[in-house]
Structure 1
Amino acid sequence: MTYVGAVRAALAEVGDPARAAQQQAYMKSELPYVGLRAPALSALLRPLLAEHRFVDRAQWEHAVLELWEDAEHREEWYAAIALLRYRAYRPWLDPDLLPLLETLVRTGAWWDVVDEIASHLVGQVLLDHRAATTPVMDAWSVDADSLWVRRTAMLAQLRHAGRTDTDLLGRVLVANLDDTAYGREFFVRKALGWALRQHARTDPAWVRTFVRTHADRLSGLSRREALKHL
């Protein structure tokens, strides 16, 4: 049995219909849930990831897309992300993976999947391959069609701490201030503030300067988030 088949077989044997309905309502998801809590899903996936190893990158990417595109439950999306994040495949997190990650962001188009892809996957590619990935983040930050692609560019450095490229961070945030194409969208404003708040842990002076410099173009929400711990 393949990883995809094993995931679907395992999900078919578990779940909680009452919790599933609550999860679907909370996440405003068109896809139904099986009804697993996150720790239970992680425990279910862990042995499957260990047992079903991929030695061929193309097959690995195909499995991700199969889980994503043919999903009948949202947990299959989470299983696809778990497959991408599995430690054995860290060497495959490179710029060649960005088109696939972009597809997941555009089609997932909600914070539960986009934020994990942004911070753990796109962020790792950016950290390891800055020269090749930085122009992609600049392009994503001004994407004409998807606020979620823009959000990904803003959140990609959440985990970079002292290795944050502040020139890039500044550009992608300025590209999404309140007077820009998606600047008044809640999830853009929230991401902008979150990115600033997180970087304030490393460089509070930079964040204060950014907020002061762009005060007239920064929403109240973004400002409050940015200065929350300052």
Structure 2
Amino acid sequence: MKAPEMQAYMKSAMPFLGVRKPARVALLKSLPVIPDRDEWLHAVQTLWREATYREERYVALSLSGDRRFQSVDLMPWFDEMIVTGAWWDHVDEIASKRVGPLLRSAPEVVRPLVLEWSTDEDRWRRRTSVICQLGSKGATDVDLLTACVDANADDPDFFLRKGIGWALREFAKTEPGWVRSFVEARPGLSPLSRREALKHL
């Protein structure tokens, strides 16, 4: 797939270079390790903010997941990435692989912010609140998941409805009975969310 096709598929205003994921992964592996946290964050932020091609943001997104440097003080930065990235290819990775782990490790800090996002005007913050617990399995904060889904269940936005179904479908792998009861108790849940949630039940 070439750059114009990649841009059209992603419906991206930012152009593509046409570099596919395997090549980006190889590039990342060839880069020297950044030992200093401040230097790392500066590199990630500069690459993201000054990107003129979407692949540059993909590289910044990958670099942002360096496990050595993850801590709750990065939440404002991840919030910036969510709002400025503003599309599922950026937001979904930030939600599930950046915000989610921080939520599990420091719920006292991250949980109130996720609750705020669940009712925010920005749909990508709201989608993040719904899907950030993907992969949490038995560590899922059920009350938080409930609050975030219920806050967005009536929204007609496709990405929110799809996100709700996705979050519930994944949690059904751990608690199928809970998800079935949850969906049955909410007749107003959109057909899309309902169908996705019950897909494997």
The question of a shared fold, defined as TM-score above 0.5 by the shorter chain, is answered with yes
Partner of 1:163: 139
Cα distance, 1:86 vs structure 2: 2.5
Q: Which amino acid aligns with 1:132?
A: V
Matched, 1:220 2:191: yes
* Deviation (angstroms), 1:113: 0.5
Whole-angstrom CA distance in 1 between matches of 2:35 and 2:120: 33
Aligned to 1:154: 130
Residue of structure 2 in register with 1:14 after alignment: none
Q: For 1:155 and 1:43, locate their aligned partners in 2 and report how far apart those are by CA, in whole Å.
A: 29
Residues 112-170 of structure 1: per-residue CA shift (max 9 Å, x gap): 000011110111111111121111110111112x1000001111100111111111111
Q: Which residue in 1 is equivalent to 2:52?
A: 72
One-letter amino acid matched to 2:96: S
Deviation at 1:59, TM superposition (A): 2.7
- 2:76 corresponds in structure 1 to 99
Q: CA deviation at 1:213?
A: 1.2
Q: Which residue of 2 aligns with 1:13?
A: none
Structure 2 alignment gaps of length 5 or more: none
Q: 1:53 aligns with which of 34, 49, 73?
A: 34
Indicate the residue corresponding to 2:43 in structure 1: 63
Matched with 1:21 is 4
Instruction: Measure, in 2, the Cα distance between the counterparts of 1:60 and 1:171.
Output: 35
Q: CA deviation at 1:215?
A: 1.5
Distance in 2 between residues matched to 1:25 and 1:193, nearest whole Å:
26
In structure 1, runs of 5+ residues without a counterpart are: 1-17
- The match for 1:142 is 119
Q: State how far apart, in whole Å, the 2-side matches of 1:54 and 1:63 are.
A: 12
After superposition, where does 1:124-135 map in structure 2 within 5 Å?
124-135=101-112
TM-score where L is the length of structure 2: 0.96
Shift of 1:58: 2.9
Aligned length: 201
What is the deviation of 1:107? 0.5
How high is the sequence identity, in percent, across the aligned residues? 48
**Which has the higher Rg, Structure 1 or Structure 2?**
1
SS at match of 1:175: helix
Aligned AA for 2:185?
T
Q: Does 1:82 align with 2:59?
A: no
